């Protein structure tokens, strides 16, 4: 009986069923500026942290920080995206073909649209 319980626990751990599901915002994203559609940078979100590398040399938005992951995106807690770009929230949605789209918002408007890399 004990070995059955241990086997079941090991199976659940190996499949990840014991842990909470990851946020769909986790991953690598290629971002474009909403204002003109130009390449804006690369965003990586993983395990409560993010890194952003702007396509613009010397951009103050580039850097790292912390995020609070959610089932529909993430909230940026600190770092250069908040301090220097005013971006606070990333929300996941889908385009017309059903592909993932992560949109980054300031309090006033959407700024960047990102797609999985």
**pLDDT (mean) for 15-41:** 83
* 48 in any annotated domain: yes
pLDDT the model gives residue 17 = 44
Query: What distance in Å separates the CA atoms of residue 64 and residue 87, rounded to the nearest whole number?
Result: 13
* 12 in any annotated domain: no
* 15 in any annotated domain: no
Residue 3 has pLDDT above 80, yes or no: no
- pTM of the predicted protein model: 0.80
* 14 in any annotated domain: no
Segment 88-92 long-range contacts (CB within 8 Å, at least 24 positions apart): 90/25, 90/43, 90/45, 90/114, 92/24, 92/25
Q: Which residue in this structure is represented by tokens 């069923």?
A: 17
**How many domains would you assign to the chain?**
1
**pLDDT (mean) for 1-11:** 46
């Amino acid at each position: 009986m004990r070995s059955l319980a241990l086997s079941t626990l090991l199976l659940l751990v190996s499949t990840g069923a014991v842990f909470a599901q990851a946020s769909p915002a986790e991953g690598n994203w290629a971002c474009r500026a909403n204002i003109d559609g130009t390449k804006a940078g690369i965003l990586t979100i993983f395990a409560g942290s993010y890194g952003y590398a702007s396509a613009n040399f010397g951009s103050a938005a580039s850097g790292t920080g912390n995020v609070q992951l959610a089932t529909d995106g993430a909230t940026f807690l600190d770092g250069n995206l908040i301090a220097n770009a005013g971006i606070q929230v990333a929300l996941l949605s889908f385009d017309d073909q059903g592909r993932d789209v992560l949109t980054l918002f300031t309090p006033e408007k959407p700024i960047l649209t990102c797609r999985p890399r």
